[in-house]
Amino acid sequence: MSSLHDCRSCTARLIFFSLLALCGPLSPAQGQRADQKTDQQQAQQAAPSQPAQRPRVGLALSGGGARGLAHIGVLQWLEENHIPVDSIAGTSMGGLIGALYATGRSPAEMRQFVEAIHWDEAIASEPSYPQLSYRRKEDRRTDQIPAQLGLKNGLNGPLGFSAGQGVGLLLDRIAFPYSTLASFDDLPIPFRCVATDMLSGDAVVLKDGSLAQSLRASMAIPGLFTPVELNGEVLADGGLVDNIPTDVARQMNVGIVIAVNIGTPLAGRKELETLGAFLTQAVDIMTLGNDRRALRLADAMITPNLGALTVLDFSHAEEIIHLGYEGAASNAAQLRKYALPDEEWPQYLAQREARKRKPEKSADLLQVSGVSGDEQQHLQRRLQRVLHRPLNLDDLDTRLTRITGDGQFESLDYEGFVQNGVPGLRVVAHQKNYGPPFVDLAVNVDGSGVAAFDFSAGARITFMDVDHHSGEWRNDLLLGSSNLAASEFYQPLGSTHLFVAPYAFASKLPRNEFNGGTRVAVFGDERAGGGFDLGFNTGRRSELRWGYEIFSGKLDPLIGSAGLPSVSGSTGEFRTRYVWDGQDSPSVPSRGARIVANLSRVLQSPGLAHPLDQLDVQTSTFIPTGSKTSLFFLASGGTTFHGTAGPFQLFTLGGPFRLGAYLPEEFVGNHYVYSSLGFRRELYRLPQLVGGKIYWGGWYEAGSAFNDPNTVVVRGTFNLGVIAETIVGPIALATSVSPTGQSRVNFSIGRLF
């Protein structure tokens, strides 16, 4: 485990420039655009009344990623000890927690809110796999490098790892009841958040406008989240210039400023043993002066001892909140002198409660901005169902996430408005500035040693809204051991789930040839042709296609000779294909089932004397048995019914998850059966910007490919392996041993075998 920890620490430091904004400012603030005098006057006019003898208390909450959850514990202790908060200024995560409190939530409600958040999904680069459309799920299974590019203005990508769709919806929910506020002074507690103008380097104090977009800007960590364009400015994380906004809090007409600093402390001597740690320490030292200057403006300071917890440790929310509570308690003597008398506390709470707003219960008007024309009308049609009924924000979040999962929009936000006394809902669409067309990259490495090693790399280029709305032109190119060039035009028919899809392809794939248990040749399986499909797409989980395909094929020895002549000729077949995908991941699911069924009627093909029918069904099911463990069952089978398959129709077995102790295509026949039973368990979690989880697992396989059902020989394989979800796709390593003594070590990169 120590080596894993060292790996994680080293990787995290190599990306410290992206994370730095969560920890502290890079340089002194060059200027703040809030007018201090005007700000003080507005705060004074809007502030709830309180006894004249009591000085107003302002709170300054620093940024710090997951460490910022400690602010909740601090606020809980302040409430329990009757210490009022008359205004809040926050940066980055401090802005998010500060806004939760400023909009009227109690610390207990705040705790429930953040603990219900799936943080991995909230900061992911796109919606979770179940929320993607079926077409985008196909992309993720084919090209599993999670780094989409675009060709809109030359080859480039997004300005951040994540567009923040998940985080944006959280902020929309916080701000929704206050969508029509003229100023953040009108919140139950007056509020400010700080962002950085990336064009001038100035600090920007956000005090009115869209609360959700202001928070989004304050949290837009460069490299992690895309920046926010607001009022003509390009805004990013406020921690770059003012991570502990005591100066902003001081400007809000307060007499007392309490600063909460949850920044990462300097590392000790023992931690400075790697280049990454030393460079990170150097940057932290450069920012230390800014933090010290900010803290000099505070009358009281709370610095929770968060130990080695990092800016990405959202899974430790409960522990971080508790440490924040203890941090405040350790300063009890200094803080209690600002407490209200017990008899005045209920009056303070009542005044704050009176300023709370409840969200509209329904919406009767819908506005869609950010797009126009057919795209705007299409979004309006998809969102009409939310009108004239009780407004369910969970349902709205799901609808907007699924639309984002279609792949064309970077994010979708919402807010309320009132027009002539009628409540409405405004949805703001943010299109991706780098595409379409979009580029998804693929790197596929598969091997069982030097004698069986395949490497291929390529890309999928997708043009969207071709000819008509939702039309897609998909183009695949793969070069290396396997070669493929393919193109498909996909066009839905009107507003139905029906579609047409003409396509063309050319491919050359390696194919092993065996004599008994000995590989005697590697053939090149060359095919070039096309087809036309009519289909039905349910949107997210399944697709059914009917079509006709024709291709010219050739089997020619590349390495060695099997003593067999080359085979060539034309193949034509009618095909029916059904796919159901209810799993939660394209690489290592934890739950759900997937079914792929192909039924074909082959009219002609080399080696066929008569037309034949074939059926091939493949299934995989994952069942969770705990938070980290799942059982899985794979079963598949194929038959040529009563015919004899030609060279292009033979079923094969062998290779990883097809009898891993044997080479690919080691067994062939007119029919085959296969099954596997095993488990996978989470072993380790990589940093968010490096990948996902690492799993280990074990499974047993059994199967046979045969011509005569009376001569079936069932072969088995025991397997033990490790699979890691990384930024280049899944990386897998497995040892496979058969009961009869065959063994192999299989590995893959970019695709799960």
List, by residue number, the catalytic residues.
92, 237
> Which residue(s) pair with 259 in the sheet?
60, 301
> Rounded distance, CA 513 to CA 504, Å?
28
Which residues, 6 or more positions from 473, have their beta carbon under 8 angstroms from its beta carbon?
462, 463, 466, 487, 488, 489, 490
Tokens of 248: 């902003």
CA nearest neighbour of 625 among 678, 692, 700: 678
| Mode of pairing for the β-strands spanning 256-260 and 300-302 | parallel
Question: Using an 8 Å Cβ cutoff, are 304 and 326 in contact?
Answer: yes
Asked if 661 and 742 touch (Cβ cutoff 8 Å), the reply is yes
What's the token pair of residue 404? Answer: 């984002």
Query: Are the CB atoms for 443 and 145 separated by under 8 Å?
Result: yes
**Per-residue tokens: 648:** 């292009």
- Rounded distance between C-alpha atoms, residue 193 and residue 104, angstroms: 16
Amino acid symbol at 547: G
Q: CA 750: distance to chain centroid? A: 17
Helix (H) or strand (E) holding 16: helix 16-23
Q: Could you give the 3-state DSSP secondary structure of residue 263?
A: coil
Among 530, 534, 555, residue whose Cα is nearest residue 543: 534
One-letter amino acid of 262: I
Is residue 615 within 8 A of residue 573, CB to CB? The reply is no
Q: How far is CA 57 from the centre of its chain?
A: 39
Does the bond joining 437 to the residue before it have cis omega, within 30 degrees of 0? yes
Tokens of 499: 């579609």
- Kind of pairing, strands 87-91 and 191-197? parallel
CA distance 717 to 389: 57
